[in-house]
Each structure stands twice: as C-alpha cells, then as structure tokens.
C-alpha cells in the first residue's frame, strides 16, 4: 500500500474447503461431495487460493475517499475543514488522558 502497510489473509485448507462447501453451487450436501466436473473437485488447491484472494480483496480499499479515511483513522483533529487532510493532527500517543476538543461555535450557538 502507499503508506508502506500491507494486507494479508491466511486461511487453512480445511477452512477454504468449508467455505466452498457453504457457498459453491457445485457442492451436493446430500452426498457431501463436489460435482466431479467442478473445479473444486478437479483442482481444490487452486480453488482454495482463489477463495483466499477473494476474501483478501474484501479488505482492500475500494476508493480514494476510503483510502483517505483509513489514513486518518486513529488521528485527532481539533478543527473542521472541507478537506480534513488540511486540519492539523494533534494526536499524542504518549498522553493517556482523554483529549478535550473544543469545536468552533456553530450558527445555532
């Protein structure tokens, strides 16, 4: 990722197979087996890799807006700006006390 972070997903083979049994239309619950012509039967290792990749993609940011929101996660802003990246980050990880934030008055105040 741009910020140097990385994502990974680990699923044991039995978890992948269970996922396939739960979600694949080629699994016959009566016999407890996959259809003999299905990729789950012919190449279960490849299907397990595919399953893990699909689950990993669900963790990836989907848009620029979401990427920005993730980058600002766990930050403390004391001012409100149209582009919150312009607002100063006053996060102090060494201070264990709660931070009191005073917002500017609104039109209703």
Angstrom distance (rounded) from CA 57 to CA 9: 9
Residue 82 counted as domain residue: yes
Residue 87 counted as domain residue: yes
For 20-33, what is each residue's pLDDT tens digit?
999 888 899 999 99
Examine the domain organization and report whether 49 and 75 are in the same domain: no
Q: Return all residues near 55 (Cβ < 8 A) that are at least 6 apart.
A: 9, 11
pLDDT confidence tier of residue 44, bands split at 50, 70 and 90: very high
Residue 6 counted as domain residue: no
Q: How many domains does the chain have?
A: 2
Residue 26 counted as domain residue: yes
What per-residue confidence (pLDDT) applies to 18? 96
Examine the domain organization and report whether 36 and 50 are in the same domain: yes
Domain span at 86: 63-103
**pTM more than 0.75:** no
pLDDT confidence tier of residue 16, bands split at 50, 70 and 90: very high
Residue 3 counted as domain residue: no
């Amino acid at each position: 990722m741009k910020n140097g972070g990385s994502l990974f997903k680990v699923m044991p083979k039995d978890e992948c197979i269970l996922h396939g049994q739960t979600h694949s239309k080629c699994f016959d619950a009566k016999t407890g087996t996959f259809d003999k012509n299905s990729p789950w039967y012919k190449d279960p290792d490849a299907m397990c890799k595919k399953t893990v990749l699909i689950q990993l993609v669900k963790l990836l940011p989907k848009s620029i807006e979401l990427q920005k929101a993730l980058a600002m996660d766990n930050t403390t802003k004391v001012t409100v700006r149209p582009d919150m990246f312009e607002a100063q980050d006053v996060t102090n990880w060494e201070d264990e006390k709660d931070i009191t934030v005073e917002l500017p008055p609104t039109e209703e105040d």
